[in-house]
Amino acid sequence: MNQNLELLEYVYKVCDMGVYSSTKLLKDLEKRDNKINKLIEEKLKEYEKYLKESKKLIKKYGGSKKTDGMMTKMSADMSMKMEVMMDNSDSRIADMMIKGLSAGIIEMEKKIDRYQEYTEKNIIKLAKNVWDFQKQSIDDFKQFL
C-alpha cells in the first residue's frame, strides 16, 4: 500500500472513532443536563467534516475506508457508559475526552512525522488539520475541568 493511502486511512479511522465515540457519549448524556453537551456536539460536527474529507480523498486514491473493529468500538462504548454511570459531571466527561484526545494526538503526530517526506501535501495538510483540531479540542474541554 502506498503512503498516501496509509495516512489517509489512518485519518479516516481516527475521525470515524471520533464520530462514533461522540455520538455514543451524547446518547449516554441525553437525559442529563450537562453543559458540556454543546461542546461535544460541536466536536462531533468537526469530526464528521474531516471524516467526509478523508473519505473523498481515499476514494480519489483508490483505497478503502478502514475503521476500528467492532470489538474496539464496543469496548470504548462500554467504558464510556461505565464512566457516565459512575460520574457524569462535566469535569469527569472533560477529563475522559482529554485523555482520549491526548492519545490520538500522540499517534497522529507519529504518523505525520513518519509519512511527511513521502506523502502528498494535501494529505499531510488534512492530517495536520485533524491534529490541530484535536489539540484545540483539549484546550476547549479544559474549561470544564
pLDDT tens per residue, range 49-103: 999 999 999 999 888 776 667 777 777 778 888 888 899 899 999 999 999 899 8
What does the alpha-carbon distance between residue 26 and residue 81 come to, in Å, rounded to a whole number? 11
Q: What was the pLDDT predicted at 122? A: 96
DSSP conformational letter for 32? S
The CATH number corresponding to 3-142 among 3.50.50.60, 2.40.50.140, 1.20.1260.10, 1.20.120.550 equals 1.20.1260.10
Q: What was the pLDDT predicted at 67? A: 65
What does the alpha-carbon distance between residue 78 and residue 100 come to, in Å, rounded to a whole number? 14
What does the alpha-carbon distance between residue 40 and residue 138 come to, in Å, rounded to a whole number? 11
User: What is the Cα 75 distance to its own chain's centre?
Assistant: 16
Distances (CA, A) of 139 to 97, 132, 136: 11, 11, 5
Q: What was the pLDDT predicted at 116? A: 93
